[in-house]
Structures are given as structure tokens and as C-alpha cells.
Amino acid sequence: MSVHTYPLYTVLGDYIRAFLGVCVSVVPLFVITNKPLVTYAFWGLIVVFTLYGLRTLARHYTRVETTNDGVAEYGLFRHGFAWSELSRLRLKYFSTRRDKSNGWMQLEMTGNGRRIAVTSTISDFTDVLARAADAAKTNEIELDKASLANIASIMPGRLDEEAAV
Amino acid sequence: MSNYFVRRLLTMMGTLLVISVLVFVIVQLPPGDFLSNQIAELQSQGEMVPTEKIEFLRKEYGLDKPVHEQYLRWVIGLVQGDMGYSFEHNLPASEVIGDRLFMTILLNFGTILFIYMVAFPIGVYSATHQYSWGDHGLTFLGFLGLATPNFLLALILMYLSHRWFGTDIGRMMAEQYLDQPWSMDKALSVLFHMWVPVFVIGTSGTAGMIRRLRANLLDELQKQYVVTGRAKGLPPGRLLVKYPLRMAINPFVADIGNLLPQVVSGSVIVSFVMGLPTTGPVFLDALLSQDFYLAGSFLMFLAALTVMGMFVSDLLLVALDPRIRMGGRLRK
């Protein structure tokens, strides 16, 4: 069994972003006096950044366990499923830079009606991905082109790219 | 995705803040200000302006304050939805723009809808029927549209309609509805008049979009996965929609960010030529007369459109194709 967590240094940036977002959205509320519509917009931003901060907190204390039999997540929700129940797998890549560098990946696994998502900042991400990719191959799951390309960029030759069509 | 959304939201807010500084600096760059221009104009007409009056007006308009104070006053106003005071019109900027902003949004939304509705089917047809008569004809029309300046097309259309039908196709509504409150008849009149400016402003954008979609789709159609799909017996329609079209549509979506400001700024001269009651002519006047608050607010409006357009197109792109690109590195 292997245990995967999000160490503090991987979520510190997200905490800072949530804090900055709340600060930037709170300041205008002190100078806005008579425009309720604009006030609502800034309250909306505060809610977004607060939720993001709480989500980061939840992720910080999330633990993902993988075994040869299945995967389980212990955090805000506690759920898991066996690899044989894996029915959908997606690996997405996100980057806020124009040259698409310095981004992160998100692995989404669905099985038995449960969905577990982990990002590439989790410890030993490639181990989780390798197990999930093997299970997808065994279960003959049809993967989209983006997921195949992303898997190939981390583990070349692990999955056949023609399986997408 | 939520992580991406929040990061892009923060970047957007930071970008808008930097743009506000740049807009303020750029608008302040020309020597003098609105008041000194007015005084110089009066003096050139031989009129004497008392120093006390100049000082009074300078204080009244806040032009005696330090630059950073003027900036803060302007930005705080913008955050509150207050676009400042137009020196030239002697009215709040929001009142000067008034109905024009609604007309501008209506016109530009119509134009963008027109561009996508026309460019998408034609681009797909041109790529899937490469080198056919239809493709050649549509490509020729596309080049014609790209090469013709909007204002020239407006002038030609106005001339032709006047000569052939004896009607004036300028303006956004029939003359009797000008300065009238909104009614069903007025709305119908606006819709009836809108197609001409929408066509004029949208032509070059449509032509550009057709060219881009055609080129992207042709690239994708020649890739091996499409050949494999055909070999496996996928129906042509399903194969096209499910795979190459999704890939080819990416640059199409990425253009949303550029399209909004292009359409808005491109409609400035057309609005002048066709006498449209949009914000364009007001903006040009404000720039010429150094009406700082009006010009600055308009520039910020354009910048906000660009940044929001980019934000929307980036979100759509990530949803459409969240794939690592060549040269992309994974942070761990």
C-alpha cells in the first residue's frame, strides 16, 4: 500500500492566492458607498476566494491510499473503489502561462459511482497514475486524446495512443 | 479546474490594475490638459480669461491635485461604477455615454454572433470540400472581405442604397424614434436597421475567421488519427465532429478575447461614417479634446472587454482540450 498526501509546500501558494484574493476583493468594499450592484460583485469574489481557501485546506489534509486492489481517499469525503470498478479516467493539464509551461495535471478517476481527483502536486503522483493507467488498460476504458497525450508525456509507451479512436 | 479558475481570476484582476495605471499615464502624456487647451483656444480667439477663473476651474475639475491623487480618485470612481466627469460636455461621463453604451453592446454582440454564425459553417465547408468550386468562391469572397476596409464598405453600401433604392441606410433606428423612450416599435426599428452595420463591421472578422478555421481543420484532417478513424469505418460526419473539428476549433475559441476589442474599436470609424449612436464617436472626440475622464473610462472599458474575453476563451480552451503542449513542463 502507498500513501499520498499534499505536503505544505505544495499548497502554500494556493493559501497565499486565496488570502490575496480575499484582500483584493475586500478593499474596494470600504470605498464603495452607494452602488449595491458593484458591492454584490465584490461579495461574490470574496465568496469565491474563501471557498477556494477552504478547498485548499481540505486538500491539505487529504490522504490518498493506493493498493494493488483499489484506491481510496480520506479527506472531506471518505470513499474509494476497486481498480476493477474503474470506469472513467481523465488526465487534464492546466497552465496559466501562454507557453503552457510550469503547469499541473489533474487525474480524475471514476468507479462505482465515486469520483476521486488528485493533482500532480500530490506525493508520488506517477505511482497513482501508473496504477490507474494499468487499470484503465485492463478494463479497456476508452480514453480521450488529451488524456492519452498527457499520460504519454509522463510515461511514454504506457498506453497505445490509437485507443482513442 | 477550480485551481485554474482562481489563478486566472487573480491574474485578471492584477492585469486590470496594471492597465488602469497605463491608461492613466497614456491619457496624461500629451502636454497640457483639457483646461489649458480650452484657454489656448479662447486666447487664440482674442478672449481674455481671468487667472482667478482658471484657478477656480482647475480646482473644480481636480486638476490642481497631485497625479497619484487624480489616479486614485479616478480608479475608486471606476470601481463604484462612476466613470468620472466629462469636461467637454460638462456632464458626468455616464450621462454622456448613456444609451450609447447599450447600443454599442447590442451592435457588437450582434456582430460577434454574425461572425460566428457565418464563419463556422463556411470554414468547415471550405476545409471539407478543399479546391472545389465552392471552396474557391468562398475563399475569394473571404479575401475580398479581408482586403476591404470597413468604412469603405460602409460608404459603398450607403452610396448604392441611396442610388438604387433612394434610401439612407445609416443610423441605428428610424428618425422618428430618435430621443424617444423605448417601445416595441423602436426596438423593431433598431433590429431592422442593425443588419447593415453588423454586416459592415463583421465582414473582415468573418473573413479572417473563415481563413483560420479552414487552415486549422485542413491541418487536422491530414493527421494519422483521422486516417485511422476512416480505416476503422467511422461515419465521416461523426469522425469530423468528434475529433478534427474539436481540435481545429481551439484557435477559433482562443480568438474570442481578441474579437471583442477588435469589433469595438473597429466600429469607431464605421459609427462615424454611418452616423451610429454608439460610444465610438464620443471616444474619438474625447481623445482629440483631452477629455481625460471620458477617454480614460472608454479605454478601461476596452481593456476590461479584452481581459474578460481572454478569461472566457482560456476557460473554454482548457475545457475543450486540457492537453500538455510541446515544451510544456509539469510542476511537481
**Weakest-pLDDT range from B166-175, B188-197, B321-330:** B321-330
**Which distant-in-sequence residues (6+ apart) come within 8 Å of B226 by Cβ?**
B220, B239, B243, B244
Pairwise pLDDT comparison (B54 vs B143), residue with the higher score:
B143
What is the rounded distance in angstroms from the CA atom of residue B125 to the CA atom of residue B145? Answer: 18
A19, pLDDT greater than 90:
yes
Q: Which domain holds residue A21?
A: 2-60
pLDDT in tens, A61-92: 999 888 888 888 888 878 888 888 888 888 88
Last residue of some domain: A31, A60, A89? A60
Q: Are residues A102 and A74 in the same domain?
A: yes
Q: Are residues A127 and A55 in the same domain?
A: no
Predicted confidence at residue A15, as pLDDT, reads: 92
Predicted confidence at residue B222, as pLDDT, reads: 85
What is the rounded distance in angstroms from the CA atom of residue B299 to the CA atom of residue B140? Answer: 35
Q: How far is CA B10 from CA A27, A45, A98, B202, in A?
A: 15, 10, 16, 32
CB of A156 less than 8 A from some CB of B: no
B268 in any annotated domain: yes
- Domain CATH code at residue B115: 1.10.3720.10
Mean per-residue pLDDT for B106-127? 87
Q: Phi/psi class of residue B146: alpha, beta or left (left: φ > 0; alpha: ψ in -120 to 50)?
A: alpha
Mean per-residue pLDDT for B292-305? 81
Q: Measured between beta carbons, which residues in chain B are less than 8 angstroms from residue A95? A: 328
B112 in any annotated domain: yes
Mean per-residue pLDDT for B156-182? 75
Cell of A122: 500530490
**Weakest-pLDDT range from B114-123, B224-233, B263-272:** B263-272
Q: Are residues A39 and A74 in the same domain?
A: no
Is there a contact between B13 and A24 if contact means CB atoms under 8 Å apart? yes
Mean per-residue pLDDT for B316-323? 76
Which H or E run contains B230?
Answer: helix B224-231
CB atoms within 10 A of CB B285: 16
Q: How far is CA B187 from CA A37, B105, B175, B182, B274, in A?
A: 26, 14, 13, 7, 19
pLDDT band at B168 (very low <50, low <70, confident <90, very high): low
Q: Closest chain B residue to A161 measured between Cα atoms?
A: B225
Q: What is the DSSP string of A90-139?
A: EEEEE--STT--SBEEEEEEEETTEEEEEETTSTTHHHHHHHHHHHHHHT
Is there a contact between A37 and B81 if contact means CB atoms under 8 Å apart? yes
B54 in any annotated domain: no
Question: What is the average pLDDT score of chain A?
Answer: 84
Q: Are residues A30 and A50 in the same domain?
A: yes
pLDDT in tens, B25-61: 888 787 777 777 777 777 777 777 677 777 777 776 6
B170 in any annotated domain: yes
Q: How far is CA B160 from CA A137, B153, B164, B167, B229, in A?
A: 66, 10, 6, 9, 50
Chains A & B: contacts with CB separation below 8 Å: 109
Residue B52, burial from CB neighbour count under 10 angstroms (0-12, 13-18, 19+): exposed
Predicted confidence at residue A51, as pLDDT, reads: 93
Pairwise pLDDT comparison (A161 vs B79), residue with the higher score:
B79
Which H or E run contains A71?
Answer: strand A70-74
Q: Are residues A72 and A44 in the same domain?
A: no
Q: What SS3 state is found at B183?
A: coil
CB of B318 less than 8 A from some CB of A: yes
Q: Measured between beta carbons, which residues in chain B are less than 8 angstroms from residue A35? A: 80-82
Q: Are residues A105 and A125 in the same domain?
A: yes
| Smallest Cα distance from B309 to chain A, Å | 15
Last residue of some domain: A14, A39, A60? A60
B28 in any annotated domain: no
Predicted confidence at residue B302, as pLDDT, reads: 78
Q: Measured between beta carbons, which residues in chain A are less than 8 angstroms from residue B329? A: 101-103
Mean per-residue pLDDT for A128-154? 85
B327, pLDDT greater than 60:
no
Q: Which domain holds residue B277?
A: 98-288
Q: What SS3 state is found at A140?
A: coil
CB of A15 less than 8 A from some CB of B: no
Is there a contact between B324 and A101 if contact means CB atoms under 8 Å apart? no
Complex confidence, ipTM: 0.78
Residue whose C-alpha cell reads 485551481 in the numeric block: B3
Listed ranges B113-117, B183-187, B307-311; the one with the highest mean pLDDT: B113-117
Share of chain A above pLDDT 70, in %: 91
B150 in any annotated domain: yes
Strand partners, A107: A91, A118
**Weakest-pLDDT range from A21-25, A141-145, B82-86, B117-121:** B82-86
Per-residue burial over B119-139, b if 16 or more Cβ lie within 10 Å, else e, is bbebbbebbbeeeeeebeebb
Residue whose C-alpha cell reads 479575401 in the numeric block: B143
Q: Are residues A115 and A139 in the same domain?
A: yes
A165, pLDDT greater than 50:
no
B72, pLDDT greater than 60:
yes
B3 in any annotated domain: no
pLDDT in tens, A27-69: 888 776 666 777 888 888 999 999 999 999 998 999 988 888 8
**Which distant-in-sequence residues (6+ apart) come within 8 Å of A72 by Cβ?**
A64, A65, A78, A79, A80
Pairwise pLDDT comparison (B272 vs A106), residue with the higher score:
A106
Last residue of some domain: A37, A60, A83? A60
Say which of A34, A52, A100 has its CB closest to residue B325.
Answer: A100
Q: What SS3 state is found at B290?
A: coil
Is there a contact between A21 and B10 if contact means CB atoms under 8 Å apart? yes
B24 in any annotated domain: no
Q: Are residues A7 and A49 in the same domain?
A: yes
Predicted confidence at residue A53, as pLDDT, reads: 92
Displacement of CA B184 from its chain's centroid (Å): 27
**Weakest-pLDDT range from A65-79, B262-276, B279-293:** B262-276
Closest CA to B70 of B15, B28, B22, B19: B28
Q: Count how many domains chain A has.
A: 2
Q: How far is CA B25 from CA B43, B58, B76, in A?
A: 28, 19, 16
Q: Closest chain A residue to B319 measured between Cα atoms?
A: A92
Q: Count how many domains chain B has.
A: 1
CB of B48 less than 8 A from some CB of A: no
